[in-house]
């Protein structure tokens, strides 16, 4: 078996996330406490008891998802002797890349929490409500999506934002441009073009103000070499240079999340198992739409961590 850890992005949050991990594992509770301290906010209480509307706010969801992922990793290490070096690679979907970097020792936990709080605020503030939009093109090939986005660009900003899986691609940009691209996709025979209920048009050029905020913030943060290579969103290739990892986090704000290619790369390098620490199973479920050669493991409950540890130790 060859392993990679994959870290989920926004959309995986749910009220109750992390509660079982914190109750079962002191190491996980320590992570949640440290994130609360770093943010000066009772984020863990919001995660476990709050309103979903508040948890879903980008500035809360991003550090919450990271905290849950890192808590699962710390519990694996403390309780079962498994750390990130058991894997050949680590990768994260959008904000999940920060979780991967934290788990791999590139960025400290409290710095990661502060960066994600700021990232969420900056991304939300970059575009006024109603200006931007995103749409999922279901059944579209990468070529279909690029052609649809090109049609949208005749009106305004429109880009491929997320290449998530085979037949699951998301476009992002100005509302009228994305609507035109969605119509173009439908006209070319794409199975379904669906506008998404998002609060901002992520991963497109409209996020340039947020990219500048993150560039300024990251400049003062120390990055270390990762314990394992990070297959990052910008390159879909393994990166170990801390300077490049930092620069690519800035590019990632306006750039495409190349998730399908990242997973395909890891599979081509002999990875057989992908473990998703944190909450939910969004990435694990998505694997089936990318390749049949990988086994996914969701690591979001004490029982799941125990079963995974037994599986890993054979």
Looking at residue 221, what is its pLDDT? Answer: 97
- The pLDDT of 201-205, averaged and rounded, is 97
Strand (E) or helix (H) holding 283: helix 282-286
Dihedral, CA of residue 35, residue 39, residue 45 and residue 48, to nearest 10: -60
Q: Which residues have C-beta within 8 Å of that of residue 307, sequence separation ≥ 6?
A: none
Catalytic residues: 94, 203
Topology, domain 140-198 = Alpha-Beta Plaits (3.30.70)
Q: How confident is the model at residue 197 (pLDDT cuts 50, 70, 90)?
A: confident
Q: Indicate if the pLDDT at residue 314 is higher than 80.
A: no
* Structure confidence by residue, pLDDT tens digits, 268-286: 999 999 999 999 899 999 9
Please, what is the Cα angle at 236 between 230 and 237, to 5 degrees?
55
Quick one: pLDDT at residue 57?
Answer: 92
- Is the predicted pLDDT of residue 55 greater than 90, yes or no? yes
In the 8-state DSSP scheme, what is residue 57?
A: S
Span 140-165, mean pLDDT?
Answer: 97
Does position 242 have pLDDT exceeding 80, yes or no?
Answer: yes
pLDDT confidence bin for 1, thresholds 50/70/90:
confident
Does residue 72 contact residue 83 with C-beta atoms inside 8 Å? no
Query: Residue 3: what pLDDT?
Result: 97
Asked if residue 310 has pLDDT above 90, the reply is yes
pLDDT in tens, 104-135: 999 999 999 999 999 999 999 999 989 999 99
CATH architecture, range 3-126+206-313: 3-Layer(aba) Sandwich (3.40)
Delimit the domains of the chain by residue range.
Answer: 3-126+206-313, 140-198
């Amino acid at each position: 078996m060859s392993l990679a850890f994959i870290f989920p992005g926004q959309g995986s949050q749910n009220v109750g996330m992390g509660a079982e991990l914190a109750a079962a594992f002191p190491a996980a509770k320590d992570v949640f406490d440290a994130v609360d301290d770093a943010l000066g906010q009772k984020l863990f209480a919001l995660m476990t008891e709050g309103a979903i509307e508040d948890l879903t706010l980008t500035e809360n969801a991003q550090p919450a998802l990271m905290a849950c992922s890192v808590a699962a990793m710390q519990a694996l290490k403390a309780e079962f002797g498994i750390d990130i070096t058991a894997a050949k690679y680590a990768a994260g979907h959008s904000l999940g890349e920060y979780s991967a970097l934290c788990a791999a020792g590139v960025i400290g936990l409290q710095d990661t929490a502060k960066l994600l709080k700021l990232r969420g605020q900056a991304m939300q503030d970059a575009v006024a409500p109603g200006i931007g939009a995103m749409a999922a093109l279901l059944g579209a090939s990468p070529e279909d999506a690029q052609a649809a986005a090109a049609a949208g660009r005749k009106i305004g900003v429109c880009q491929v934002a997320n290449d998530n899986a085979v037949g699951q691609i998301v476009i992002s940009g100005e509302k009228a441009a994305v609507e035109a691209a969605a119509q173009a996709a439908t006209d070319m025979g794409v199975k379904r073009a669906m506008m998404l209920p998002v609060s901002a048009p992520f991963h497109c050029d409209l996020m340039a103000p947020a990219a500048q905020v993150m560039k300024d913030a990251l400049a003062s943060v120390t990055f270390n070499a990762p314990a394992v290579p990070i297959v990052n969103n910008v390159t879909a290739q393994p990166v170990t240079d801390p300077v490049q990892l930092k620069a690519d986090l800035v590019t990632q704000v306006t750039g495409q999340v190349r998730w399908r290619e990242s997973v395909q790369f890891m599979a081509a390098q002999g990875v057989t198992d992908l473990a998703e620490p944190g909450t939910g199973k969004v990435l694990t479920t998505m694997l089936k739409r990318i390749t049949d050669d990988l086994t996914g493991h969701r690591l979001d409950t004490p029982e799941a961590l125990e079963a995974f540890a037994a599986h890993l130790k054979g």
